[in-house]
Amino acid sequence: MRIALIGPTHPYKGGIAQYTTELAHQLTAAGHQVRLESWSHQYPKLLYPGQLTVAEPELPPFPNTVRHLSWRRPDSWYRCGRRLRDYDVVVLVMVNPVQMPAYRGILAGLGRHRRAKVVAQCHNVLPHERSSLDERLVRGVLSRVDGVVAHSAEQGKLAESLTDRPVVVEHMAPVVVAKGQGVAADAPLHRRLLFFGLVRPYKGLDVLLRALAAGPEGVRLRVAGEFWGGTESTERLIAELGLGERVELRPGYVDSSDVPALFTDVDALVLPYRSATASLNAFLAFSHGVPVIGTRVGTMEQDVRDGVDGLLCTPDDVESLTEALNRFYSDGTAARLRANVPPVDAGPAWVKYCNALLRAAGV
């Protein structure tokens, strides 16, 4: 079939751009003719205070890519839809509600009696921090597509509350942009943990810092990633908790080539999220031979086997996370979990995901 993906790719950075790029490659490998329609200007920089782009591609670029879409050019929205009128499937990658007017313009360009089946691929149906306007904008698109793909049962129910169109729930397939060498099961512990990724309130870094202060003595923490709104509040909390000698801050986006070094001297990746839909970071940790300490949110319970290759605890609960940290560093638990870290085999998961996408389109 002829399939068009509309979403971010290089030079835009981060997980959704990586996922869109890999999806284009996977659909092509499955025998489809794929076009990736991306953005020259994705949304106003005011909405994202951090780094928007990277110089070097994080994955092999998809060759059949055009970047004509701009949030400030409504004519580019309509023309995009016109270009895709003879396609079989059009996939709208849902990133931010501010892009919903552009997607409405693309749908208008496809025409009232469109040939193409349109699927909304929802990484987040609604933002973690949302407003009533966000709901109206998203509902306006979801009510006009032919099907929706969500990445967790909870997100599927949320999508169903916004549209009467079919909703398919499918777990995200792994994307590993920087593979590691793994860690020997009998390697000594470093007594260092890693928090990796964009730092926003829902990610729960403050909960982790309080648990670290109350948890096993002498364990250190490395925090690597962009800080939403700056590092000041985190630095104040570190000082209040007396963790100045135990916490290493590495603010700023981490290029894919620098990711493996973050995992070489840590015992676990900690994902202390207050809320989540799906995260690829557990697979990233496993690809480096590192277990995960996470919370029971989103698909974490599917990704991490509690007591086997990681530990799970209650979200937004300092006491529960403290208990998990103490358990991790007692009775040989850390070494046992590390020995059970599974290899990351993305192939079967991608076959399922691509099939789910087409099932949502009804083709």
- Three-class HEC string of 83-126: HCCCCCEEEEEECCHHHHHHHHHHHHHHCCCCCCEEEEEECCCC
Q: Phi/psi class of residue 346: alpha, beta or left (left: φ > 0; alpha: ψ in -120 to 50)?
A: alpha
The C-alpha atoms of residue 237 and residue 211 are separated, in whole angstroms, by 12
Residues 294-303: what's their mean pLDDT?
A: 93
Is 3 or 363 the better-scoring residue by pLDDT?
3
Q: Does pLDDT of 47 surpass 80?
A: no
Would you state the pLDDT for residue 85? 96
Confirm if 59 and 26 have CB atoms less than 8 A apart: no
The C-alpha atoms of residue 251 and residue 205 are separated, in whole angstroms, by 13
Would you state the pLDDT for residue 178? 75
Confirm if 117 and 149 have CB atoms less than 8 A apart: no
CATH H-level, domain 192-339: superfamily: Glycogen Phosphorylase B; (3.40.50.2000)
Confirm if 94 and 121 have CB atoms less than 8 A apart: yes
The C-alpha atoms of residue 34 and residue 96 are separated, in whole angstroms, by 23
Closest to 211 in 3D by CA, of 295, 304, 291: 295
Q: What are phi and psi of 82, to 5 degrees?
A: -60, -40
pTM of the predicted protein model: 0.92
Going by pLDDT thresholds of 50, 70 and 90, the confidence category of residue 182 is: low
Q: Does pLDDT of 183 surpass 70?
A: no
Decide which of 3.40.50.2000, 3.40.50.300, 1.10.1040.10, 3.30.160.270 is the CATH code for 2-175+346-361.
Answer: 3.40.50.2000
Domain with CATH 3.40.50.2000 in the chain: 2-175+346-361, 192-339
Place of tokens 């509902």: 139
